[in-house]
Amino acid sequence: MPSEGRCWETLQALRSSDKGRLCYYRDWLLRGEDVLEECMSLPKLSSYSGWVVEHVLPHMQENQPLSETLPSSASASALDQSSFVPKSPDTSSTFSPASPATPDGTKGKDESQHTESMVLQSSRGIKVEGCIRMYELAHRMKGAEGLRQWQEEQERKVRALSEMASEQLKRFDEWKELKQHKEYQDLREVMEKSSREALGHQEKLKAEHRHRAKILNLKLREAEQQRVKQAELERLRKEEGQVRLRALYALQEEMLQLSQQLDASEQHKGLLKVDLAAFQTRGNQLCSLISGIIRASSESGYPTAESQAEAERALQEMRDLLMNLGQEITRACEDKRRQDEEEAQVKLQEAQMQQGPEAHKEPPATSQGPGGKQNEDLQVKVQDITMQWYQQLQDASMQCVLTFEGLTNSKDSQAKKIKMDLQKAATIPVSQISTIAGSKLKEIFDKIHSLLSGKPVQSGGRSVSVTLNPQGLDFVQYKLAEKFVKQGEEEVASHHEAAFPIAVVASGIWELHPRVGDLILAHLHKKCPYSVPFYPTFKEGMALEDYQRMLGYQVKDSKVEQQDNFLKRMSGMIRLYAAIIQLRWPYGNRQEIHPHGLNHGWRWLAQILNMEPLSDVTATLLFDFLEVCGNALMKQYQVQFWKMLILIKEDYFPRIEAITSSGQMGSFIRLKQFLEKCLQHKDIPVPKGFLTSSFWRS
């Protein structure tokens, strides 16, 4: 059998034997204690043994054939021992092919054969070991070469990917730049288009401006012509006004001269059976009337023809008054002369002495009685012109009610809802008026003004507007005026300071919406006729309850309210009225006059003093009115106002006291103490709760 086949069979036999499963490690000496564990484990051949047997040993055997074939057991032994042979290539040279020192030839032969076998075995193990080392080196080199090639391949791929990414980035930048160019081009086109449109619009505006300029020039020329015409009319009006003013001054001068003549008649006081105070009081009133006309004319510009006619009537009344006084003086002188002739009779002298005191006491008694001369000077009914004004306001109020009658009587649920929303929007803001801060008051005013102007306002979480119903505006105006008066009747009656914030809002609304002011007066006159002033008279056939309602009393179930509660309500409404006539809305147009100013307060005070006083009512209303409005009237009318206060003290107090019972003297005493204190200090204090500038800044 050839050597190649024997080697293969030997290797196969070794592989199948127990030693063939041994682990072979060249560095076993370096592993330390692990060697013992490996000795006890099953032996095994190197993984490269097969490759060496198949590829290396055949070539080695061809170059160096062995003389004899080793048995399989010897081969296995040689392979087994080869691991213990030193690695040096000079190992084979240390052994000799035969040993000459053997004493016995047979024994020497055996030893020679054994030595040769060992040498052969050592030589083969070295070769196998070398082949294994070569294979490992080749395998490492091949692995290194493969690793290098793999690394180069990977680097090549990375470079390719990097180049591809770089190209893609360039394409992306190019695409982005292209997009920016397109957007810039589109934007430029849009701007050019807008510029062209703007130029066209500008040209159109220029054309419209030229057209409007022509129209404005025409209007300016017309306005200039109108201005010239108005200036001419104003000049003529001023000239007429100056003429009327000079005439008024002449009338006032004559009135003052007549007043001095009236005062000069004081020396005849002892001759007269009538009280000269009535003539003097009426004379002072007439002087104050002309002074008021002149002052009002100065405030409004120039007097009107009606003012001049009223002043002439006052002067004529003053002349008649002086003429009547002269007749009374003449009659008194004749009576005195006749009395002196009668005193000549001695028999009747004692009787005349007894009748004398009674005659002297009679004039004061008749002056306060219902049939006296002085009572004839005062009126029980209101003046006709005032009554006409009162009736006009009531007619306007009734007409307003008839206007929105369709809304109040509607059965439609939507109309009822609108009516309820409008009533809440009108009344709730008035209920919220307080003395806390002026800024809150302005919010309430703006809300009421917006509602009356037709703008939508928020009420109860819903938007409400008077335009929701054709009768909505009339309904809101009526309910708003009613609520203002009701606040005076209830809130002001309980808290006097509340009169001023309620009044300033009412005054501002009155100025912007005059119809609301007329409705406020109509409601006030109806609930408090003494604010006219007007004393309703009992007519034949009238029910007593209806008459009591006309007087201002509340009648429920045929029961009339208590007098204290009645006076409290009347007081609240008079205080509200007195506050309205002196206050202006601070954010309004200050150039316009007050829609219902202090001149109406002066008129009310003059008319109430020209009428017979009512028990308990007149004193209460005079005190409330003067406490609220007295300071403003004092600043406005000055001397004339003080004359009126003196008139109240000297002439009107006795009249009030004469009709006031002992249980009703509280209001009279309060008025008397207030008036005496004012006259003593020559000043009327500012009412408590008056709105100052700090109130509006809060």
pLDDT of residue 151: 92
| Of 519, 487, 514, 527, residue with least CA distance to 403 | 519
Grade residue 346 by pLDDT with cuts at 50, 70 and 90.
very low
Distances (CA, A) of 26 to 52, 132, 141, 634: 17, 11, 20, 135
Overall residue count recorded for the chain in this entry: 698
Residue 75 has a CB neighbour count (10 Å cut-off) of 21
Q: Is 589 exposed, middle or buried (0-12, 13-18, 19+ CB in 10 A)?
A: exposed
| pLDDT over 90 at 626, yes or no | yes
pLDDT of residue 302: 73
Instruction: Please compute the mean of the pLDDT values over residues 300-314 and round it to a whole number.
Output: 80
Q: Which residue has the higher pLDDT, 392 or 372?
A: 392
- Structural domain boundaries of the chain? 260-343, 385-697
Q: Which residues have a Cβ under 8 Å from the Cβ of 20 and sit 6 or more positions away?
A: 13, 14, 43, 44, 45
Beta bridge partners of 611: 379
Q: Which helix or strand (DSSP H or E) is residue 560 part of?
A: strand 559-560
Phi-psi region of 616 (alpha: psi -120 to 50; beta: other; left: phi over 0): left
Beta bridge partners of 556: 559
pLDDT > 90 in the chain, percent:
31
pLDDT of residue 666: 87
Q: Which residues have a Cβ under 8 Å from the Cβ of 321 and sit 6 or more positions away?
A: 262, 279, 282, 283, 286
Rounded to a whole number of angstroms, the CA Rg of the chain reads 67
What is the fold of 385-697?
1.25.40
Q: Report the C-alpha gap between 480 and 519 in whole angstroms.
A: 9
Structure tokens at 89: 């290539």
Instruction: Please compute the mean of the pLDDT values over residues 91-106 and round it to a whole number.
Output: 40
Among 32-41, 246-255, 366-375, the range scoring the smallest mean pLDDT is: 366-375
pLDDT of residue 320: 80
pLDDT of residue 355: 36
Q: What beta strand segments (E) does 575-629 contain?
A: none
Q: Which residues have a Cβ under 8 Å from the Cβ of 698 and sit 6 or more positions away?
A: 436, 437, 438, 439
Is the torsion defined by CA of 71, 76, 79, 81 positive or negative? negative
pLDDT of residue 515: 92
Distances (CA, A) of 479 to 144, 353, 396, 511, 578: 109, 70, 14, 18, 22
Q: Which amino acid is at 542?
A: M
Among 272-286, 303-317, 355-369, 636-650, the range scoring the smallest mean pLDDT is: 355-369
User: Model's pTM, two decimal places?
Assistant: 0.49
Tens of pLDDT, residues 153-174: 999 999 999 999 999 999 999 9
Among 286-290, 423-427, 607-611, the range scoring the smallest mean pLDDT is: 286-290
> Do β-strands 555-556 and 559-560 pair in parallel, antiparallel, or remain unpaired?
antiparallel
Structure tokens at 148: 């290098």
Q: Report the C-alpha gap between 446 and 448 in whole angstroms.
A: 6
pLDDT of residue 468: 86
Grade residue 305 by pLDDT with cuts at 50, 70 and 90.
confident
pLDDT of residue 172: 92
Task: Measure CA of the first residue to CA of the last residue in the chain; give whole Å.
Answer: 131
